[in-house]
Amino acid sequence: MGNLMGIWRYKEPSTVEECDSTWETDSESDEHQPGGEEEDSGISESMSPADALRGAEQLDHGSPQFGDMMESSTRVKRSYYAAKDLYKYRHSYPNYKEPRQPNEYRNLRFYLNKIPLVPDGIYIEEILTKWRGDYEKLEHNHTYIQWLFPLREQGLNFYAQELTQDEIKEFQSTREAKRRFLLAYTIMLDFFGIKLMDKNGNVARAPNWQDRFQHLNESQHNYLRITRILKSLGELGFESFKLPLVHLLLEEALVEGTLPNMRHSALEYFVYTLRQHAQRRALLRFAQRHYQPPENFIWGPPKKKRIPASGSTVMKAGKNEVVERSVAKARSPREGRNNLEREVDDMDERKSGEWKTAKGPMVLQEVRGRVDLEEYIETIPL
């Protein structure tokens, strides 16, 4: 009877609008959730084989994940597949059946250097010590990314196993696994032409950014990798690292013009990996100010006016203004500083009257070799 009631209660979203709660009113989206995070809505099924097939078709070159879909000929439309996929991710795949017993933590064992990735037979330490800067290998090998950045969904490498909720908890409590995960993240950032700046996940252009950005703009299958990396950051305890990376990519795509082919993927996929409504709204408002032609921007708020109903709503509006202002005033990607989350936190602290002692940023200087990088990673509290 309980299962029957569950089926009656929860409905699979059937439109993009049902999948996207970004522009709901504050009372609907933020007040019920600490930090404005989306709650488990109880989707009654995981991605079906038919969904997976449609997704694979959309992920071919020329799909919404690759470029701008010929905006001049037809008006761009939101991808229902993308919206539904990210809706499920943000809601932690509710009612998803775990695929195996909890004692088979293959992703964790891989990161503890106990088993190699399959089918290549490569251990994580070999990747961390020998693959950094080997851009040919990172570009053309298509089996490692599912092991380096695991998710609770099946990827193209069917030897890689999905994460389970229990494995996620164990991974997040294992310092050695998290240390290696951050090293893997810096290797991929370097591959993209980006460097990690501090313990908050702030990023900036790397010294090799010109060549790497040119490659990234042309090699658009890497946009799929970025989507996976962002999702995996959120699963394994680094949700706060998403915002600086997505903001940098949006700025490069829309303001600096170095990654013009990325702008649709950044807006359709990258932004929607963020679980907090306020962060997604701030990024989309930033993007809307720079998007050309402006009439083709399809990710903005609904065209309707909302009148604040209470003082709490006014306070929420003030918080959103701070978020938007911070994005607008964010420094150049060359400087690598993004104070967005700090200003949101300050607004929350002013509201509650509780101020925390600010700590200076731990800025990563120019990395020269694996030793310096590991020493830096050791300073990050895991």
317-367 tens-digit pLDDT: 455 554 455 444 444 444 444 445 444 444 444 333 332 333 333 334 444
Specify the range with the lowest mean pLDDT, choosing from 11-25, 98-112, 157-171.
Answer: 98-112
Mean pLDDT is lowest, of 21-25, 133-137, 287-291, 293-297, for 21-25
- Examine residue 343 and state whether it is found in any structural domain, yes or no: no
Is the pLDDT reported for residue 269 higher than 90? yes
Bigger pLDDT: 312 or 242? 242
Which residues touch 208 (CB under 8 Å, ≥6 apart)? 190, 193
The answer to whether residue 162 is domain-embedded is yes
Q: What average pLDDT does range 18-23 have in this prediction?
A: 93
* pLDDT for the residue numbered 74: 54
- Does residue 367 fall inside a structural domain? no
Please tell me the predicted confidence (pLDDT) of residue 302: 74
The whole-angstrom separation of Cα 293 and Cα 374 is: 44
Answer whether residue 1 is part of any domain. Answer: no
Greater confidence, 283 or 28?
283
Question: Do 201 and 240 contact (CB within 8 A), yes or no?
Answer: yes
Rounded to whole angstroms, how far apart are CA atoms 201 and 356? 20
Label residue 206 by pLDDT band (50, 70, 90): very high
Predicted pLDDT of residue 357: 32
pLDDT at 180 over 50: yes
Contact 267, 299 (CB under 8 A): yes
Is 178 within the bounds of a domain?
yes
Helix residue ranges, H only, 163-208: 165-172, 175-192
- Both tokens of residue 210? 């010109």
- Residue 247, domain member (yes or no): yes
Tens digit of each residue's pLDDT (9 = 90 or more) over 76-128 = 789 999 999 999 999 988 777 776 565 689 999 999 999 999 999 999 999 99
Q: Distance of alpha carbon 230 from its chain centroid, rounded?
A: 3
One DSSP character per residue, 137-165 reads HHHH--SSHHHHS--SS--S-TTSPPP-H
Q: Is the pLDDT of residue 288 over 90?
A: yes
Does residue 106 form part of some domain?
yes
d(CA 117, CA 107): 9
307-319 in b/e burial notation, b at 16+ Cβ within 10 A?
Answer: eeeeeebeebeeb
- Per the model's pLDDT, the better-predicted residue between 157 and 37 turns out to be 157
How much is the pTM? 0.73
**Res. 48: pLDDT tops 60:** no
Burial class (CB in 10 A: 0-12, 13-18, 19+), 70: exposed
Check if the beta carbon of residue 119 is closer than 8 Å to that of residue 113.
Answer: no
What is the chain's mean pLDDT, rounded?
A: 76
pLDDT of 333:
47
Task: Determine which of 74-83, 141-150, 206-215, 236-245 has the lowest per-residue pLDDT on average.
Answer: 74-83
Structural domain for 266, as ranges: 81-296
- pLDDT of 294 > 60? The answer is yes
Residue 66, pLDDT above cutoff 90: no
CA distance 264 to 253: 9
Residue 324 lies in a domain: no
